[in-house]
Every structure is written in structure tokens, then in C-alpha cells.
Chain A
């Protein structure tokens, strides 16, 4: 369109509005919860003492139907195995952010990563 119908001010608005969008996405969507510090594990309704994510270790926890293996490494935590078919908790992978939660429902084991600020008031299972 090479007419004067698109003015210089128009181009300015076009560029500004298109530039605004990535900024909007990055500010609104970068709700970074921060890294977690410890993991709280609940087995059958009983909460174990919080474990620091800095201590690399592999835990075997006896759940409702068998042992579940949990690995803590480099500030992250994951289920390595669980004694049931679905393995959803294993597939949920590594958890490192404050507020991340995963559970192995058949085995009644749940874990929540927490950081300096709490994102949840309570954690129950």
C-alpha cells in the first residue's frame, strides 16, 4: 500500500503494538515460582521430615502397595519407580520449582517442593 493512507505515525503504532506483545507475554507469563529448597513427602497421610534438595540421594519409601523410589539430585526430585502400572508419577519427571507437586496415588505417596516463600497454605493427601 503505497498511498499516504498509512502514515508515519501509523507505522510507529504498528511497530509499537507488535513490540508490545512479546513484552506482555514475557511479563505476564513468566510467573517464575523460584527454585525449591526442600521436598515434603507424605506417605499414607503422614508427613516425613522435610528433605533438602541439596542432598543428593536415592530414597526407597514403603507405600501402600509396595516400595517407591525417589531420587534427589542437583536441587531436583523425581520418582524413579513405583509399584503400579500407570507410572504417572515417574512420567511427571523432575520437580525443582517451588510449589511443584506430584503424587503416586495407588501407593499413597505424595511430594511437594517448597521454597523460601510458601505458595500453598497447606498440603494434604
Chain B
């Protein structure tokens, strides 16, 4: 009989992903003023994971959250999922670049801001190329970016406050 061995890291990823999924789903119940704008509170879990356990674990938690979150909300492979997926990949890319900078350069606020902006930019690009290739869509971009900066900052401050209590 095959047994599946799991490591401590697996358990950690599962736990954090479950937490992120819960926040993700709770947040999906909140009304949004504009399509594309939401607080992205699940980002808090990703950034905290990144600061505590590194990029690999954070990437797992983020991608599992996007995948399982979409399955639970019934948006898997829908446009919503495509946008969420591209956003997640874009923020992972920028976070890996940010991690490459030597030394203890960025803290949670910097990571969170970078991730939020990359997420929005990635998601916007996907929306433009895949769904609405119209120049008028560009007019939304500054508004969406303002929201991204605002929520990225707030999430980052929450993570910083959280880490301060943990450490």
C-alpha cells in the first residue's frame, strides 16, 4: 500500500492556504464599487508567509488559494479566474525579483505594495488582451492602480503589525 508522506512544510502550506482561502471567500461576499477593485485581504497571508517562510512557501500558498478559491466559488476557468491567475503570477514574478535584491531590503509593506501593484497591472493587461481590447479601458487604469496602492499599503501595514506581535 502506498503511503503519502507529508512534511512539516506541506502542513504549513496547507494551513496557510486554508487561511488564505477563507479570507478570499469571505471577501468575495463584500460588494465592490468597481469591477477589479477589492481589498485583496488574502494578500496578507501571502506576504506574511513570504516574510516568515520564504518565496517557495508563499508561491504555494498563493497559487493554491487562487486555484482552490476559484473551485469553491465556482469561477474556475472563468474570466474571473483568468484575471485572478494572471494577477497572482504577476505578483509572484515581482516578489521573486524583489527577493533577488541582496540583504534584508524589503519589509512586508514594500512586498505588499509591489505585489498589489503587479497583481493589478497583470490582471489589467489580461483583461485588456483577452476580454476588452479597447483603448477606453485604459481610462480605468489609474483608478484601479490607486486602489491597488491603497489596499497594498493597508495590507502591508497589517502584515507588519502582525509580524511584530509574532516575533
Contacts and interface: CB of A to CB of B under 8 A. Distances in A.
Given A21-B142, A24-B142, A29-B142, A7 B107 contact: yes
Interface of B: 101, 104-110, 113-114, 117, 138-139, 141-142, 145-146, 149, 152-153, 156-157, 160-161, 163-164
B106 A9 contact: yes
A104 to B, nearest CB: 28
Main secondary structure of the interface of A (DSSP, over half): helix
Which of A4, A6, A20, A25: most chain B Cβ within 10 A?
A6
A7 B146 CA distance: 22
Nearest to B138: A28
Interface residues of A, number: 20
Contact of A7 (B110, B114, B138): B110
A6 to B, nearest CB: 5
Contacts of A25: 142
Interface of A: 1, 3-7, 9-10, 12-14, 17-18, 20-21, 24-25, 28-29, 31
